[in-house]
Amino acid sequence: MLWRCNWVKQRRKLINTLSFSSLHTHSSPNPNQISDLSRHRAASPKPPLTHDDVYSRLRESSPDLKTLTFFFSCAKQSNYFHDDRAFDHMVSVVERLTHQFKSIDRIVEALILSGCAIKPRVLLLLLEIFWRGHVYDKAIEVYKGMSTFGYVPNTRAMNMMMDVLFKYNLVDRALEVFEGIRVRNFFSFDIALSHLCSRKDLDLVRVKMVLKMMIREGFYPNGERFGQVLGVFCRSGCVAEGYQVVGLMICCGVSASVNVWSMLVNGFFRSGEPRKAVDLFNKMGCSPNLVTYTSLIKGFMDYGMVEEAFSVVSIMQSKGLAPDLVFVNVMIHTFTRLGRFEEARNVFLHSLKNGNLVADRYTFATMLSSLCVSRDFDLRITIGTETELDLVMGNSLMNYLCKVGNTLAALKVFRNMSNRDLALDCYTYTGFLTALCQGEAYGHALNMYDEIIKRKRIRLDAHFHTVMIDSLVELGEYSSAMRLFNRCVLEKRGLDVVSYTVAIKGLVRGRRMEEACSLLEKMKEDGVMPNRRTYRTVISGLCGEKDKDRLRKVLRECIEEGVELDPNTKFKVVCFLSRYPRDCSEFRSVFEKWRENVDVSDSCDELSVSAG
DNA sequence: ATAGGGTTAG
């Protein structure tokens, strides 16, 4: 759509240029030329057409076939170009004709019978009318008709056809047309670029290819297209290319706006180059704005540069920049990541009220997750149940409702989401299963689990399976949980360390310590390394069962692998093994170290929890 | 349609 407007604008520009140049020639002071001109005018049988005249005659004309013929005959006159109004009027005319004559061939036949000569220009105009009226199937028919009549479509016709094919999602065919254009013009490239950049399955190789061709053939994108191309590169982690595009842009005399710099700063952070992001920020050609600062804060936080992030916040405050909603959302997220839940909540409660801002889906999703992490479910906070759901917001809400124990509400959200046109994802189904199990409908949950797997509609990850296994464990259905776990292993579902740990937890709870220990061995064979939570599960289980010998073996492994236990588990181990001084002699030095470091590791643990 | 923000498990 956008480029279409440009096209029209550009055409107008062209018309203006043309009339300007002829005016220029005609207003030459040479008296001979003036008399030439007046003679020419006198000889001309018809007065020049005006857009107003043509439009009113089109409106009054009937039947439709005659109107179309008249439209063609005007276009035949040199220096007359139909305006938008005329084209738009013709859309309904040809729609009626299409209805009446069924096929393009029949319309053409009828035109010939009424004395209209079928020339390339006629078909081109017909194509444009259909194209403008979004009647793309007919546009294709006209285009095909061109070759039937022996005409070779020109650049303009091919540009339109390429656009239609892109709109039909036939990218390969669109690009075939693009490549088949003998003399590509600015629009050929502009159309191709705009479509390629706005596709969901973005193909950067093709974007690059078209951009390179464009420049090689002597054209440059306009500022708008430059911006779109740049955005595409920056968002998909190809900031280096984005940087080149900006270079090109500046060479073309399009000055880089603060938006452009913001995109690059953000792009460098996203592609893992915080240093370059900061360098660029320091030397950007114009003064940063709220968006630039927001990108910096988010970027710094992503790299654990907390002080830097907050110094940016101070700079913003000193500059008196008023926060907007995105900034508020980023701050809620930032405080949550730092475990500063109270502050996150205050931003939510107060900034929104004082700043005249209305919380949106991002706000709610972030805030709900904040409440879940803090485990502090405050009923005073009204969550956005009235806000229209989108995928992420719905997923967050389901998760939150499960955590507060409102299973029914969670299921209601799921139903709501299913009825909307949302592409439900792994998070959604994971939440759904959690809610079902929580509602003690685990039999139903298992059926749904099978159903979802069979349907193969979405890519499932370890989370999805783990939640099902864990729910069964939490319900005390240990054998059912283990059956599912083993099935997932057999079916190679890509289980991870959490999945194994959950299964081990099930065995521990079912007091099947021997199996728990062999699973610990097996997971290593399967290439999944146990972490401190895995060892904690096994070790505290063994302490509980007072299984001294197995404990020693597992503890030895844990220490050998350099996995640091949490203070609680260390305490349990020391308490238990100290009863058998002879058996724990091999751990004496380790226990000593644990005692020495107890404060340090305590605070470490605290920190790691806070950092999420 | 030129910028920046959000969701899961033990």
Q: A296 CA, B9 C1': separation in Å?
A: 31
Per residue in A530-561, pLDDT tens?
999 999 999 999 999 999 999 999 999 999 99
Alpha-carbon distance of A333 to A383, in angstroms, equals 16
Q: A391 CA, B1 C1': separation in Å?
A: 21
Question: Is A571 within a domain?
Answer: yes
Question: Is A332 within a domain?
Answer: no
Q: A510 CA, B7 C1': separation in Å?
A: 32
Question: Is A373 within a domain?
Answer: no
Buried-exposed string A161-177: b where 16+ CB fall within 10 A, e elsewhere? bbbbbbeeeebeebbeb
Per residue in A94-132, pLDDT tens?
999 998 998 888 998 888 898 888 888 889 999 999 999
Alpha-carbon distance of A393 to A387, in angstroms, equals 9
Residue closest to B8, CA→C1'? A427
Residue closest to B7, CA→C1'? A396
Per residue in A449-466, pLDDT tens?
999 999 988 889 999 999
Domain interval for residue A278? 220-321
Closest nt by CA–C1' to A360: B6
Alpha-carbon distance of A310 to A195, in angstroms, equals 40
Q: A313 CA, B2 C1': separation in Å?
A: 25
Same domain as A313, residue A461 = no
Selected residue with higher pLDDT from A8 and A385: A385
Question: Is A251 within a domain?
Answer: yes
Structure tokens at A29: 């002071």
Predicted pLDDT at A172: 95
Instruction: Find out whether A363 and A392 touch, Cβ atoms under 8 Å.
Output: no
Question: Is A66 within a domain?
Answer: no
pTM of the entire predicted model: 0.79
Predicted pLDDT at A480: 95
Predicted pLDDT at A379: 58
Q: A542 CA, B6 C1': separation in Å?
A: 41
Show which of A259, A290, A321 is a domain's final residue: A321
Question: Is A523 within a domain?
Answer: yes
Residue closest to B2, CA→C1'? A227
CATH of the domain at A317: 1.25.40.10
Distances (CA, A) of A374 to A309, A338, A364, A371, A606: 22, 11, 15, 5, 13
N-term to C-term CA, chain A: 45
Instruction: Find out whether A399 and A372 touch, Cβ atoms under 8 Å.
Output: yes
Show which of A265, A288, A321 is a domain's final residue: A321
Predicted pLDDT at A529: 95
Predicted pLDDT at A382: 66
Closest to A429 (Cα-Cα) out of A407, A408, A456, A460: A460
Q: Which nucleotides of B are covered by protein (CB under 7 A)?
A: 1-10
The three-state secondary structure class of A384 is coil
pLDDT at A26 over 90: no
Closest nt by CA–C1' to A500: B10
Question: Is A526 within a domain?
Answer: yes
Lowest mean pLDDT among A142-146, A217-221, A480-484, A579-583: A579-583
Q: A528: pLDDT confidence band, cut at 50, 70 and 90?
A: very high
Residue closest to B4, CA→C1'? A291
Show Cβ contacts of residue A420 under 8 Å, excluding neighbours closer than 6 positions.
A389
Selected residue with higher pLDDT from A24 and A254: A254
Average pLDDT of chain A is: 87
Show which of A321, A350, A376 is a domain's final residue: A321
Per the structure, the count of domains in chain A is 2
Per residue in A464-516, pLDDT tens?
999 999 999 999 999 999 999 999 999 999 999 999 999 999 999 999 999 99
Q: A429 CA, B7 C1': separation in Å?
A: 12
pLDDT at A371 over 50: yes
Question: DSSP readout, A40-72?
Answer: HHHH-SSPPP-HHHHHHHHHH--SHHHHHHHHH
pLDDT at A44 over 60: no
Q: A596: pLDDT confidence band, cut at 50, 70 and 90?
A: confident
Question: Is A554 within a domain?
Answer: yes
Q: A483 CA, B4 C1': separation in Å?
A: 47
- In percent, the amount of chain A with pLDDT more than 90 equals 64
DSSP state letter for A232: H
Per residue in A338-366, pLDDT tens?
999 999 999 998 888 887 899 999 999 99
Show Cβ contacts of residue A47 under 8 Å, excluding neighbours closer than 6 positions.
none
